[in-house]
Every structure is written in C-alpha cells, then in structure tokens.
Structure 1
Amino acid sequence: MPPASAPKSCVILFDLKTEDRQKGLDSLTNILLYNRLSEVKDECKLFLFNSHNVDAQCAGVSLINSNLTIDALINTIKTFEVGESNWMEAIIFGINELEEEFNKPGIITLQIVVISDLKSFKSEKNKHLEESIIKSLKQHDIFVYFIGPNVQPSKTIFSEHDLIEWMRNLEGKGEYFDFVKRIVTETKSCICSFDLGVHLFNSFKYRKGKQPWTEPLSFGTVLSLPFPTIKITDRQPPFKLQMDKNDTDVKRVCEEQEDVEINMHDTVSGLVRHGKFVRIPDEKLFKIEGPRCFSVLGFTDSKKVPEYLLQGEETYKLVSTGVQDDSYLEFFWTLISVMIELDKYIVAKKVYYANLNPKYVVLIPRLDKDTRGFIVCELPYAEDIAFDYKEENSAPKVQVSKETTNYLDSMNVTSDKCKIQVPLAPRMMIDTNCLNMINKVKEKLTEGK
C-alpha cells in the first residue's frame, strides 16, 4: 500500500447566469462523477452564485448539498431563480471556505472552480478588493479554475509549463478580463473552455507533490538517511471496472473431469511443492511477515538495468527537504556524485507497511535542475518478465518512403509537421477509459428524460 494521495479540498462556484447552462451542468457533472467514482474521496462543496436566494454570508450565493445523487443535484440547481451577486465577493467567499482546510496537517491541494462563461462578470474597479483576493490565493496556495470561456490554446499543451505560458499570453475582451487573467497568472491557475475543464481540473494540480513516505533509506543496521520518498507519477487510472465479487456464482470442477462439480466445503487450501500437496490453513496461505523497511541491497552498473524494466505503475523521487543535518546532506550529495561518476545504481527493498509484499526498486542518481536526488523506479519480479525471443533469420531491411514518414509526422502531435490541432496532449488529459465510464454513467442518468 503506497502513501496516502494528497487529498483535494474543492469549492465549486456555479454561475446561474451562464448562457449555455447545459454545458455548464455537463462540466459540473463530469467533475463530480470523476470524484465520486475515484477511490480517493476528496472534499467538495458546491455553491451557486448569481442566485436569487440570499445566503447569510454572501449575497446571491447559495449552498447546494453536494451529497445528493447527481440527477437530484442537477434537478435542484434547475429550480433556483437567477439573481445578482458580486463575483469577486463570491471568490472571497470560496477562499474563506477553504481557509480551515489550509491549516490542517499534511499536504492538501486547495481548489476553487468557477463554472461560468464570465459574461455576467463586471469590473468592480476596486483595487483594494483585487489585492485582497490575490494575496489570499497566494497565501493559501489555492488553484483557481475558470471553466467556461470560449478560449482554446494556439498549440498543443504538453505540460504545466506550456499551460502557464498560454495563460500568460492569453487575450480576452471585457473590463473584468484583466483581473481574471491576473488571478490565473499570479497564482499559476487557468482559464479554459467547458470541454477542457474536467481534464485540466485533474491534471493541472499537485504543485506541492503528494504525501511523502518517511521511512529512511537504510544501509545495513548502522546508517540510515532520513530523506522522504515522494510519488511523482502514477500510471494507474483513478477508477476502473471490476467483476462483481460474488463467490456464490463460482463453480469449481475436477481438473481431470470437468463435468464433475466440487462443493466448496469439500476443499482444503494448500500448495504443491516437489510433487506433494502441503496443506496450509486459509488464514496462513500466502501470509507475509516482516517489518516496514526501505533497505539498500547493493549497487549495480546502470547498463545492467535497461529502461524497459523501469516501466512500473509508480515512480518516486528521494530528495532533500532542507531540514536534514549537514552531515547527512554531505553524505547524500557525495553518494550521488560518486554514483554518477561510476555510473552506478542502487537496488533496494521497499515495504510500505509491516507484513506487506516487498517491492524491489532501483535508485537512479540525478543532479539536474528537475531532480537533485534519486529517481526511484519499481523493478519487476522474475515471473513478470518474458524471455526474449530471437528469430533465426534477421528482419528484412525495408526502405521507408518520404511520403510515409511525412504522413506519420502529420499525425504526431510532438512533430513540427503535425497537421492535427489538438488542445491537450495525452498526459494533460484524464484516462480515456475513465472518461468513457463517466459518459456511460451520464447516459444512464438521462435515460427516459
């Protein structure tokens, strides 16, 4: 079990004056369904602004029970009458709602989502209010997403850096726009269309990283380095379809006679070793006992760890946080420098919690602008690796025509010759299967309506 993911605490402000309200409701549904289907349940509060209902804390802002079922929640929103509210005061209201979360221990990503086409926004020309908003957003490290304006990037967004650059050069109309742009540029937040909203809401975040795993890296029983391990990539989708875990429908048959059904009560658990069956009680079958640890097993040449072995589901980094003693830091930097010089990697055993399956990882030393420490990649077990198949005859040489390479380049979004305009690269989008599941759930919710 890995360290807990950094939780999100989110305030959604939905503008009832948005002209294409259905698109706004679709974006809201996507965000809420993504959160509800995910294994990590983040906190989310939903408010309507430009509402006729008056909240005691902020005029024109109404609280909606976000624990309602999605269809009940959407139907509730449709019953509210349009009113008036100050959008800047609504954002301050959202900041105040998140202030308590900011003071909680651990790493928490705070988010304000404004679902609006911004056409109802007006310039307040209140410098004091503007400065107060910017200061509070920076102080509490809050992301702000304005989802709804019809803005599209002029080129494909591949990374957070590309998105920040897009925001910096964004042009828009309206007196309010200058301040909206200032919010997103100074807090490294974003403005995007309804279609891109659910993607950037989930991919453009975690500036502070994820919850660190604090088990020190130990060299035998004498030396250990108190440096945290932080997850930097996670290739697992946040949710996926699973078979119904109902064992009553499972039938067990005899291996020699598949037409003979075996009653579960007539079976015993165990393992076959050296041709003999060894009976093992269910509670002890495959049970692992051992302490939590992060232990160095040895050093190896980098050439003995090819890149195709480093394709695990998760990648981490082991870095200094600046709070370690000078003696540890001196050893840490010396170790990294010598390993780079000798072209060596560390192989280590990692057990997240006591009595869990161990994972074996390789620590790759790095001293560059992105990482000053170790990149930690999971290694596969022997049974996970297929033996290389070598053909007796070498593959025939094929002459690839220029027309073929040009055609392939025209579809490659990383190529300068690409003729396809796509707003977001795959790494800036949510998992395709997840999006398909969200759409299927939405179809079910709207059946018969």
Structure 2
Amino acid sequence: MPPPRRDLCIVLFDLKASSQRQLYRALLKICSSNYFTGSKNLLHLVFVNCSKTDNRVHSINRKRYKFIKEINREGLPFDLVSIYNKFQLVETEATESSNWKEALRVAIQIIDENDVPNIVSNQILFLTDLTYSSPSDENLMNIAHDLKKHDVFLYIVGPDVQLPKPITNFEEVQKIMEDIASNEANENVKELKTLMNEKAHIIISDVKLGVEYFFNYKNSFGTQPWPVPLTVGTRITFPIETSKLMNADKGLELVPDKEEMRPTMVYVSAENSTKIYNADDVRTGILRHGKFIPISENKMFQSKTERMFDLVFITRIDSIPEYMMKGPNNYTVIEKQGSSQQAFQCLISRLERKKCCVIARRVYNTGTKVTYMALIPNSAKNCLRAVELPYGNEVPFEWMEEKPCKKEEVLEEVTNYLDSITIDSSKCGLNCSMTPNVVNSIGNRVLFNMATDKLINEQLSLDQIDYNVFETGINSSIGLDLRTRWPSRESVPLKKDENEDELIDSDPDEYF
C-alpha cells in the first residue's frame, strides 16, 4: 500500500511574542483540527527566542542560530495532548533573543532533509509578532530562493498589519501582500515585505485570519482523476481525465467506544407488522398481474453496463434549461497528461464558437447507474465543464425558460451598490473574506473547541480567535448614492374618522 499523501508543517513559535496567549490558542486550534479529523500530516515544533539552543543548523555553525530549539527532530502527527504538555514545561523558562531569519533557515533545513514521501505541501508557520529579534547577516534573498525551490508556503501569523483589501482569491495574494500596511517602527516587518517581490508563497496576517489561511492556502490534495476516455462512435477517442471540482463536507462522525451490535433482520407481513416469518419460509420473487413469480437468483436485476463516457449528441447550450444544470455534481474534463493529440482543443474551440455543448452518457464503474452529463466548453481554461443532468423520473417537471424581457435602463447607482456588496468584485466595500476557498466551514468549529477543552480538561477559550465571517465591516458610505435617488415621502398624520365617535356612542345591537 503506498504511503498516504500528507502535508509537512514546521511551526516556529516565538516565546517572546507580546500576543503569545493568542498565538498559543492558534497553535492548539490547528492541532485540534488535525487531531480530531485523523489527519496524517506531520509536524515539527521549533521554539524561537528560547533560553536553550538545540537545532541541526547550529550543530554545523556554532557561532550562529542560537536560542532556537527543535522540540522533535522527526516529523510527528499532530498530537494535541503532547503539544499542550510541552508548552506547560516552557511557561516558566527564561527567554533570549534569536533572529527570525535564522529561524526560517532552520525550518528550511528541516524541509531540505525530509525524506518522507508523498508530501503535498511544505508549510512553515511562524507564530510571532516580529518584535524581538537579534541582528544577523543571514541573506534574505537566499531564503527566498530556497522557499521557491521547495515550493514552501510561509505564514507569518501575529504581526500588527492591515491588508489593503480582503483576500477573496489566493491568486491575488502576492499583489495584496505588496501593499500591506504595518507599524513603521517594526523594522523586521518592513524587511520581510521585501520577500513579496520574489514571487514566493508568503502571507502575513493577524491571528484570526492567519489560521484560516493556513488551512486553505496550500497545494490541494486533489482527487484521483477518472481516466476513461470520451468516445464518439467506435473510431474516435479523446484521451481525457475527469475530476470532481468540489467534494461535499461530510462532517464529523461519532465513533462508539465498543463495537455496535448489528441489528437482526426479520421478515414481517406487509399487512400485519406483528406477524413475523422465518427466513427459511421466505421466497424471493415479483408480483405481476396478481400472480407471484418466484426468482431463484438476482442476477437478472443486476446492471451489466461497462465503464464508458460516450458522446450521445451535440446541442445548443441555450436549449438546456439552466435549472437542470445545477448539480448535483460538477466536474472538469481536461486532456490527459502526455497526450499529443490536438483534437480535444479543436473540439473545445469549435463547441464554443457554435455555442454548443456535448451530451454524454457516463458509467462510472462496471454495474453502476448510467448518468447523463452536459459538457460545456471553456477555452480560457482549455477544458470542458461537466454537470450531471436529471434523466427520466429525476426530472422534476417540464418547464421552458421564458424569453428575456425587454431591456430596461439600469441606474448606475444600482450597479455600483451591487458591486460594493459583491465579495469578489474589485469595488467591494465589505471588509470580509467570506468565500469557501479562503475560510473554513464553521460547522465543526464549535465541536473542535469543546472537544479540546474536554480532552485537555481546561477552559482554553479557543473561540476567541475564531474568525467571524459575518463581520463585514460595512459602513454608511455603501449605498449612499442609491439612497439619494429614492424619492422622499413626507409622513402624513392619519385623519380621525368623523363617524368614529358616533359608532362608539351608538347601541351596538342595532348593527347585528
């Protein structure tokens, strides 16, 4: 069995950081998430600004890399209890000043000497405010070169910085980091910002968002592509790979302490549930026209379909109602790696030019259900977007889209307002990162916090560093131009009905 795909994380923890308690909570939150989900990721813990020196680089150069201590020389799983106990031992220890660039060099050396196979992402998590640091002549450009060499994702979590805009897409991280604002008195942050021009994977953030970026800004584990080619008839074959775009979050599952007893199957009468039959007295069969037909085996009901991905026909995209192309699963279809054929690119460009799509029949595995998919061309990504279509009884109802109404003039103030509340718009005025590829789902957050307190037997208050996705930072200027276009309406006091007093004073019986 091949070794599992996993991430390698080196955590550099600054023992002299002013916000050490918050950084400690951030580390425990990261450990708890990996611990309770059964992650196979590996962790190296390194203390920075420590009173002792013990690291692999210092053993080579005794004059440098002081007051940096490797807690574990080998990569270990995220053991929440072990990390908690290690911090209990260092709380009373004295601290010294080391250099943050030398700490990064130690982390890079750990990655360089790693021999664990199938590492998906090399991560360096530096929990520090970069306030205390001793001088060093460590070359920052050499560090940037090695970060790119090993494709390292570096997270500096803790400094007092302000992003010019919220990160809604990690493709724009480098540009946002170049314009980051920080305390002018912190020379270490100013020096670190020079790394942003080297096109390395680097994020500087506060504690709350830094935890979210750590989980999401890295190489994707991906999914195993489906290698069955797209066929047209018996002679034309497109070598492709099909991958699911997004998997549903299955959430957490409770594992019982003891093996559950499997329930015993019993046969009961359909008319009287209290009447139970023995398994030996039950005969398998079907009922047709009031007559029971016994069946000795179920092979006749088993599907005999083979794996396939066949083109059925080509149609215009607008001939398929949009509500039918909303799931439940979406895929991307790309040309198989190593294939030299140009036919797939020609198919994409031709379909896009004609505004058409492919309707294909798909059987995922031998004996499974046949599904039908619409393959929509996307020349910008050089792929086909595949969406599963309802078929037969799965179609909820027959409905044709209405023809578009006559275009009406849209106020510029309306479009500006919609842009200001659209998160991925360049004109967004909300200070939030509420996008699924940037922040984690909040579904398991409370469970992790409570389970950590229960396991450690201490109130850790991990919820204090939970990022609130609903903190939009909305201000009064958003939509101000739109509100000025609303017609003003004066409030008119209600007039008293002249007959109201007469109705009250009169005899109520005469109205019934």
Q: Under a length normalisation based on structure 1, what TM-score does the superposition of the two structures give? A: 0.75
Name the structure 1 match of 2:248.
Answer: 236
Counterpart CA distance in 1 for 2:232 and 2:457 is 60
Query: Contact conserved, 1:216 with 1:294, CA < 8 A, in 2?
Result: yes
Deviation at 1:356, TM superposition (A): 5.5
Deviations, residues 226-254 of structure 1 (Å, cap 9, x unaligned): 333344x3151263346869454689776
Aligned to 2:45, what secondary structure does the other structure show?
A: strand
Name the structure 1 match of 2:41.
Answer: 43
Compared with structure 1, are the counterparts of its residues 228 and 235 closer, same or farther at alpha carbon in structure 2 (3 Å cutoff)?
closer
Aligned to 1:166, what secondary structure does the other structure show?
A: helix
Query: Contact conserved, 1:14 with 1:48, CA < 8 A, in 2?
Result: yes
- Paired residue for 2:358, among 317, 342, 346? 346
| Gapped regions of structure 2 (runs ≥ 5) | 59-67, 401-413, 460-512
1:315 aligns with 2:330: yes
Compared with structure 1, are the counterparts of its residues 58 and 299 closer, same or farther at alpha carbon in structure 2 (3 Å cutoff)?
same
| Gapped regions of structure 1 (runs ≥ 5) | 391-403
Q: Which structure's relative contact order is higher, taking Cα pairs within 8 Å and 6+ residues apart?
A: 1
Q: Under a length normalisation based on structure 2, what TM-score does the superposition of the two structures give? A: 0.67
- Paired residue for 1:96, among 109, 113, 138? 109
Name the structure 2 match of 1:17.
Answer: 16
Find the structure with the greater CA-based Rg: 2
Deviations, residues 305-332 of structure 1 (Å, cap 9, x unaligned): 333333336533233477432xx11x12
Counterpart CA distance in 1 for 2:161 and 2:300 is 57
Compared with structure 1, are the counterparts of its residues 247 and 24 closer, same or farther at alpha carbon in structure 2 (3 Å cutoff)?
same
1:441 aligns with 2:451: yes
Name the structure 1 match of 2:127.
Answer: 115
Amino acid aligned to 1:167: M
1:377 aligns with 2:387: yes
Name the structure 2 match of 1:401.
Answer: none
Counterpart CA distance in 2 for 1:277 and 1:117 is 77
- Paired residue for 1:300, among 290, 310, 315? 315
Q: How does 1:17-416 map to 2 (within 5 A)?
A: 17-38=16-37, 41-50=39-48, 51-59=50-58, 60-64=68-72, 66-67=76-77, 69-80=79-90, 81=93, 82-99=95-112, 104=117, 108-122=120-134, 124-127=136-139, 130-172=140-182, 173=184, 174-185=186-197, 186-206=199-219, 212-231=225-244, 233-237=245-249, 239-241=251-253, 246=260, 248=262, 256-257=271-272, 260=274, 274=288, 291-312=306-327, 314-320=329-335, 323-325=338-340, 328-329=341-342, 331-351=343-363, 360-368=372-380, 371-380=381-390, 382=392, 385-387=395-397
What's the C-alpha RMSD, in Å, of the aligned pairs? Answer: 4.4
Deviations, residues 393-432 of structure 1 (Å, cap 9, x unaligned): xxxxxxxxxxx99999997656899875435445421112
Aligned to 1:339, what secondary structure does the other structure show?
A: helix
Compared with structure 1, are the counterparts of its residues 299 and 7 closer, same or farther at alpha carbon in structure 2 (3 Å cutoff)?
farther
Query: Contact conserved, 1:237 with 1:434, CA < 8 A, in 2?
Result: no
Aligned to 1:234, what secondary structure does the other structure show?
A: coil
Amino acid aligned to 2:317: S
Deviation at 1:184, TM superposition (A): 4.5
Counterpart CA distance in 2 for 1:220 and 1:381 is 22
Kindly tell me the number of residue pairs found equivalent between the two proteins. Answer: 422
Counterpart CA distance in 1 for 2:175 and 2:103 is 27
Query: Contact conserved, 2:47 with 2:71, CA < 8 A, in 1?
Result: no
